[in-house]
Structure 1
Amino acid sequence: MKFERKPMVNWYDPKQLAFTGVKTVLSSVFGNFADRRELQAALDQEIQFYDYSDREEMWLDFISDLGDGFNPTFTLADLLARESLTLRGKPLKRGEVLVMGGDEVYPTPEPIEYNNRLRGPYNAAFPKDENDSNRPDVFAVPGNHDWYDGLTNFLRLFTQKRSLGNWQTQQSRSYFALKLPHDHWLVGIDVQLNADIDYPQICYFREIARQHFTSQSKVILCASEPSWVYKSFDENNESFDRLQFFIDRVLFGKGEAEYEEKNKSLEVIAILTGDLHHYARYETSKGKEHPCQLITAGGGGAFMHPTHTLKKEIESLKGQPAALKKVFPSKGDSVKLSFLNLIFPYFSLTMLFFFGIFHTFTTWILQSNVESPESIMEKMAGLDLLDGDISAFFGVIISGISHHPAALFLNLLLFMGILLFTDTKSGRKNLNYIAGAIHGGLHLMNFYFLLWLFSFTNLGTLGMGVNNPGQVLLFMAEMILVGGIISGILFGVYLSFSVLVLKNHITEASSSYRWEGYKNFLRLSISGEGVTIYPIGLKKVVRNWKNTGTEENPKFEGGPISYELIEDPIVIKNEKIS
């Protein structure tokens, strides 16, 4: 199929921010009135699971957060499409089932975005073959970005028996249950934009757990976010409680004696998720059960999230402690990459111009004469801050904004916008607000200092008239370029300080430089011996892809792709622990 190769989403493009923000608000509001999950259940009342249990051994792939820039998305799709990958001398077969763990497209789930950022790359990497009798299946859990249109286009792609390249969609709802060999199950749940799990979905999984799970069943749970990590960031985060409710009440039947007795020996051996775009594995303490592997594997194509902000130990299921075992990228590499925010203007030219134009517009309002024949620029030009005219400088500012309410409004808008940008959900709330207030104050100081500097230079040193067209153009160029660059640097310094010292703003501080590297996915082997999880990572993605086919039937060549095991295979043996 024909599609356009897209770059990584620029999250600091003001137009993109505004569009995504509107989508988020609308989906949150209307999602509460028209829950697509309930409509799915009304149209598909059959409680069915997908049975792959007739095999002695089965391979399964898990990938999440994938439909972003072409280079990382296609690089991962190319690996997933290969018949096998050889790691440490062992061939790992392509998954007979591909599970996508959320956020299948960025930034919003428009049909054109699904086509350009997901369907196109995956079709090109693994073209549909009608003669292939062993086409792998694909199942998908929706993430928050899939929900921004109320799940409309997600359902069209994944619940109507369509093809995604040579992968075949099978599910009829946005959640599903797969029966795997040797009494293993994979359960994929849909939590709509952090909402409660809907009643039809609870009924669906309760029926399967009640009728088909046994005391020997082992469950791999797929969710759209690492709620255990978010709980460690913010104790008021409720997503972890919803996950615990699902495990206790739906899988284990807590509160119903017969149901609970039957499933009391059931084990949740792993929870797989994305949403944070890195690899991180926590492991619960050993007890009478296998340790539960809590794995975040959100490296399917979107920008990389830092790992140095993760805590070494967190509270997990049933109050058990869970220890951090492995991260990718390493914490050291994560810290180094975070310093890229210091060159924020290089990555976000649109924000540079936004700040510069905002400052220019504010100056234009302040320039209008109200109480004095002199404009604010002429007053500023008569001051010499290096000679100690500090009090006069602030007097001019106060006089200016007191006679120009619109300028005062813009000053407050800039300050409050930056203050409200502060991440107060992670770390110490009061300290974060103080940092945000200082950040906002620095932007205002920067504006008024530059207003003085350019007035002093243009009108005083260069002797240009305030209304001289050349001076006006020069001032606009100075404020847009220099003002924008310095404001961008201030913004980048704040992001670097936040993510490195305060350990917050993890998304804002990593989406800024949109790092394509450090991608990952999981390949699982399910056999009579148990489950083996192979975390596969690559530090760099291929960027030299060339289309050697046609626009309608593209075929991309490039590489090579250098991939590796992030850590030793995680083995969960199929045996009871006494």
Structure 2
Amino acid sequence: MCAEVSPGPDNSRTSEAGAGWVCGSPGTFNDLLPPRVLDFSWRRPAVLWRSRNDVLARLFGDPSNAIRRRCVAALRERGTPAAFTVHRSAPEFSFVLLGDTGEGDRSQYAVVPPLLHAAAGTDFMIIASDVVYPAGDGGQYLEKFFRPYKDYPAPIYAVPGNHDWYDGLRGFLHVFCALDANCSPPPWRGALAFVPRLLWRHPGPIDRAALAEARRTYRGAPGQQAVQPGPYWAIDTPSLRIIGIDTGITGVVDRDQGRWLREVSGGPKPKLLVTGKPLYVDDDHRPGPVEGGGTVDEIVRDPAHHYVAAIGGDIHNYQRYPVRAGDGRTIQYIVSGGGGAFMHATHTIPRTSVVKEGEFRCYPLRGDSLSRYSKLYGRWLRLPRLFELTPEEATAAVRYRLGIRPGRGYRSAATEVRPSRRARFVASVLGVPRDGRRRPRLLRLPVHRLPQRFRSEMADWDRPPFFKSFLRLDVTESQLRIRCYAATGCGDHETAPPCEDEVTIPLR
């Protein structure tokens, strides 16, 4: 467990202070904020309206695959190599990965100082999903991409998330692929086709001069420059091939990208997948359909492809599932979506069945997640004396309802005895499953299962602990080392961020 963080601070598994519940000094990230910071909120009707393509795609059909094919055709006409591959000659290298970054508020900027310290010496960064909220507009890249990462000295690559697609991927392709194209959606067919035709949000204009000035001002150094081949790509090195895929709005990979994925996955070289949608999350297997048949996970699990890990964004926390494939290999399935957006609860994750509970890792810990949400609901409902649970009370309630060993031990006996009736009530209505069983409840407040546009207003805050996270990956010819670091928002943790999880994967 992250031995190299010593003599740094504790992590959330060792103390409440390590989780960020007690801050000795404020975070310096406040000094990085732009002069005027608009608190990002999904309660604003304008924000919801700009995100309407998600609902339309799920009701009337997702046009992402057709749009992507048009954009990829434009990239090929420009001369992009068919393999969509970036080649790097060094067999040993490091990179940092984080997902779901771009709200542009304090929760995003709180990640920056610890990231810059933990990512020292890395060769590049990857953003896995949702670079810009709420709708991927090109005009918002200044405050939500260029400015926050201005001091990261190396190139940044990305795979788009569903929110980047609400602008038809136009802003994403302009910034990361240097392609200015409006690949409009095809016409819908059917009796109700007039509805999406009328309501679909089309890409906004691209201010080329403003984006060029933002790049020059904030990320203009030669070492920061990179043009990735397309919305999906591969970074090929002598030791490891990193493959990034574009999962559109609803998570379906188009047939052309599926064919490319099978081809680039071939050969004996170890491979790591980066995807906008995780394949395992919340104790659920989501294999990722490929248009025309098959799934992304079938490709990952195929012994001939030699995948060692698959990392996805979209869900705003950290989870790791070491899943044993049929041939005896262990593939690390990781969720890394804590890069800046509001936090998705972990206390709603049942006692795991896809892997043994003792092998599962998450951040924040379930008890910390329940405590944070209890305080949010106590404030929101103006019933703090009823709802608010201390981290210790919440840990005891999680242990009682799930029947699991707490992620953080306490010296007192409070977590070993039956928690109070109030704590059990709060855990129940805030969604902690009973003994790991997914049973419906008559009284359960919206925490995780409702769509984002309804729950986000209760799941976002601008004071520590933020419970954000990012990954550092170090590659040698013989192994891949993955570490999850926390971004609590506390000044105490910025220069030596807590290491919450670590796994080393042999590559030979």
| TM-score band w.r.t. shorter chain | 0.5 to 0.7
CA contact 1:518–1:538 (8 Å) conserved in 2: yes
CA distance in 1, matches of 2:257, 2:115: 30
CA distance in 2, matches of 1:64, 1:266: 25
- The SS at the match of 2:504 is strand
Q: Which residue of 1 aligns with 2:372?
A: 337
- The offset of 1:270, in angstroms, is 0.9
Q: Which residue of 2 aligns with 1:193?
A: 249
CA contact 2:128–2:276 (8 Å) conserved in 1: yes
- The offset of 1:229, in angstroms, is 2.1
- The offset of 1:247, in angstroms, is 4.0
1:219 aligns with 2:268: no
User: Partner amino acid for 1:245?
Assistant: G
Q: Which residue of 2 aligns with 1:524?
A: 473
User: Partner amino acid for 1:313?
Assistant: T
1:22 aligns with 2:52: yes
The number of aligned residues is: 376
Q: Which residue of 2 aligns with 1:565?
A: 499
Q: Which residue of 1 aligns with 2:157?
A: 139
CA distance change for structure 1 residues 230 and 40 in 2, over 3 Å: closer, same or farther?
Answer: farther
CA contact 2:93–2:123 (8 Å) conserved in 1: yes
- The offset of 1:121, in angstroms, is 2.0
CA contact 1:98–1:136 (8 Å) conserved in 2: yes
User: Partner amino acid for 2:498?
Assistant: E
User: Partner amino acid for 1:205?
Assistant: L
C-alpha offsets along residues 477-510 of structure 1, whole Å, 9 cap, x if unaligned?
xxxxxxxxxxxxxxxxx63xx54xxx74485545
- The SS at the match of 2:263 is helix
- The SS at the match of 1:145 is helix
CA distance in 2, matches of 1:35, 1:321: 40
CA distance change for structure 1 residues 314 and 54 in 2, over 3 Å: closer, same or farther?
Answer: same
Q: Which residue of 1 aligns with 2:231?
A: 174
CA contact 2:85–2:229 (8 Å) conserved in 1: no
- The SS at the match of 2:330 is coil
CA distance change for structure 1 residues 529 and 537 in 2, over 3 Å: closer, same or farther?
Answer: same
1:514 aligns with 2:460: yes
1:96 aligns with 2:123: yes
CA distance change for structure 1 residues 306 and 35 in 2, over 3 Å: closer, same or farther?
Answer: same
CA distance change for structure 1 residues 429 and 266 in 2, over 3 Å: closer, same or farther?
Answer: closer
Determine which structure has the larger helix proportion and give its number.
Answer: 1
CA distance in 1, matches of 2:297, 2:121: 33
CA distance in 1, matches of 2:288, 2:341: 24
TM-score, normalised to structure 2, is 0.65
Select 1:68's aligned residue among 103, 107, 118: 103
CA distance in 2, matches of 1:289, 1:152: 42
CA distance change for structure 1 residues 249 and 298 in 2, over 3 Å: closer, same or farther?
Answer: closer
Q: Which residue of 2 aligns with 1:245?
A: 294
CA contact 1:66–1:103 (8 Å) conserved in 2: yes
Compare relative contact order (CA 8 Å, sep 6+) and give the higher one, 1 or 2. Answer: 2
RMSD (CA atoms):
3.7
User: Partner amino acid for 2:249?
Assistant: L
CA distance in 1, matches of 2:373, 2:64: 40
Q: Which consecutive residues of structure 2, in runs of 5 or more, have no partner in the other structure?
A: 1-31, 180-211, 384-430
- The SS at the match of 2:281 is helix
CA distance change for structure 1 residues 314 and 274 in 2, over 3 Å: closer, same or farther?
Answer: farther
- The offset of 1:198, in angstroms, is 1.2
CA contact 2:92–2:476 (8 Å) conserved in 1: yes
Correspondences of 1:369-384 after superposition (within 5 Å): none
User: Partner amino acid for 1:294?
Assistant: Y
CA distance change for structure 1 residues 36 and 571 in 2, over 3 Å: closer, same or farther?
Answer: same
Q: Which residue of 2 aligns with 1:44?
A: 75
- The SS at the match of 1:10 is coil
- The offset of 1:108, in angstroms, is 1.9
CA distance in 1, matches of 2:95, 2:129: 16
- The SS at the match of 2:161 is coil
Q: Which residue of 1 aligns with 2:329?
A: 290
User: Partner amino acid for 1:159?
Assistant: C
CA distance in 2, matches of 1:33, 1:522: 28
